[in-house]
Structure 1
Amino acid sequence: MPTNKVEPQESPPIIISYVKDLANLCSLAGLACTILAIYFSLIGIYYAAIIGMIWAVAFDWADGLVARKMKGRTPSDQTFGMQLDALIDVVNYGVTPAILLLSYGNFEPIFLPGAFILVAASAIRLSYFNTYGLSGDAKYTGLALDNNNIALAFIFLFESVFSAGIFSVILYVSSLGLAALNVSQIKTPKLSYNPANVYRLTFYTLMITGIYSWKLL
């Protein structure tokens, strides 16, 4: 009688094995910068928080560059890396700016809706991208989330020009504007694909780090 043999399925790799992937290490390094940014936001050292936020962007771009250069990555490696990157992006570009906004607003209840909108917009934006990917002309639909940190790092350069009360309003309005752009229908290019933009981000990261380090002195 013929027998139906069940082929043994290959066991999936252990969870922690993905940490040795260099691209994933870059993602986790960005997460470490984000944790520092959250910490410094909570204790009110905002210039240090901004440094952490811009370095989170740098490592986020680096993980994609490294992943494209690596050879021998399996489809499961790529899928895991994309899922890890997306989850970290919500923290980098949604949760962290929300905590920065709340902290700068002295955790007044009026800042809670803005914080929620920032996090919700980042989650919706990434869920949409994970579902539909890039548009037909190879552009993002909605402002890419990494622009949130890039813009906030620039906006915070003017923090000392205004009183804390006025700047908290500026920060609130800017955050809501960024969230609206995140979930809008505008088309934006994938900046990290252009080598010239990588150099520009490197210069911007070093410049922002230098400026805010000087402000911390």
Structure 2
Amino acid sequence: MLGVYNYTVILTYLSIVSAVIGICCSFNAQLIFAAIICLMICGCLDAFDGKVARSKQNRTDFEKKFGIQIDSLSDVIAFGILPACIGINLVNGSRFIAKLTNRTPYYGFLKDALIIICILYALTAVIRLAYYNVQEEARQKEEDGNREFFTGVPVTTAAIIFPLIFLLQLANKLDLTLVYMFFMALVGFLFISEKKIRKPGFKHLIVLIILGLIEAVLMVFCKIFIK
């Protein structure tokens, strides 16, 4: 069969599966919570897929290049398409936005504008990942080792920011769809900005994962106990 099927890419494949399940869940208003959890699972899997891949001795050039490409394609689905689908369906299910658009025709454009933001967010995620791949390939021809800085905000930040907004919505029983959309526009812009960001080390990844687990626990608590 075409492709690579050893343990170096298993976490990436699992991330794709989680992202697709999340996209399916996002189209059901009752399953948005599950979609957010899938996004967080993708973030957790992505944090370790590179280290797992590099643990294999004597990886061939084909395996290395395949790993880079499949990782970026996975990130497009998990951190580009999935958050955008969640955003679109939050907009469609928002009672607050529905009231605004029904109250006066001048707000009729709002829903369309917010959906366009979701589409542009997905586009910036794809552009950012394509740029990263080309830049990384050029860098590896000139120097060895891992890069120390990212250009632009990594797309994986979606796995922390958007679940946090959803957690605040659950905890306060407020419709924070417009807040979600504001950060979607901001994060999308930062994806393609030229801002230099130091690549997080292993300790930083552990801290981010712990924060993600705390978010997940709090979301489950709010979902169960806050009515």
CA contact (8 A) 1:95 1:119 kept: yes
Which residue in 2 is equivalent to 1:129? 132
Which residue in 1 is equivalent to 2:2? 15
The alpha-carbon deviation at position 149 of structure 1 amounts to 2.0
Whether 2:35 is the aligned partner of 1:49: answer yes
Which residue in 2 is equivalent to 1:24? 9
Aligned 1:1-217 pairs, distance under 5 A: 14-16=1-3, 18-19=4-5, 21-44=6-29, 45-106=31-92, 108-133=111-136, 138-160=148-170, 161=172, 163-164=174-175, 167-191=176-200, 194-217=201-224
Cα distance in 2 for partners of 1:190, 1:138 equals: 5
Cα distance in 2 for partners of 1:162, 1:113 equals: 26
The alpha-carbon deviation at position 162 of structure 1 amounts to 5.9
CA contact (8 A) 1:48 1:212 kept: no
**Identity score, percent:** 21
The CA deviation string for residues 58-97 of structure 1, in whole angstroms up to 9 with x for no partner, is: 1112110101211121110010111100111111111011
Cα distance in 2 for partners of 1:178, 1:124 equals: 13
Higher CA-based Rg: 1
The alignment of Structure 1 onto Structure 2 pairs a total of residues equal to: 198
RMSD across aligned C-alpha pairs, in angstroms? 2.0
Alignment gaps of 5+ in structure 1: 1-13
CA contact (8 A) 1:47 1:213 kept: no
- TM, length-normalised to structure 1: 0.84
SS of alignment partner, residue 72 of structure 1: coil
Alignment gaps of 5+ in structure 2: 94-110
SS of alignment partner, residue 15 of structure 1: coil
- TM, length-normalised to structure 2: 0.80
- What is the one-letter code of the residue matched to 2:52? V
CA contact (8 A) 1:94 1:119 kept: yes
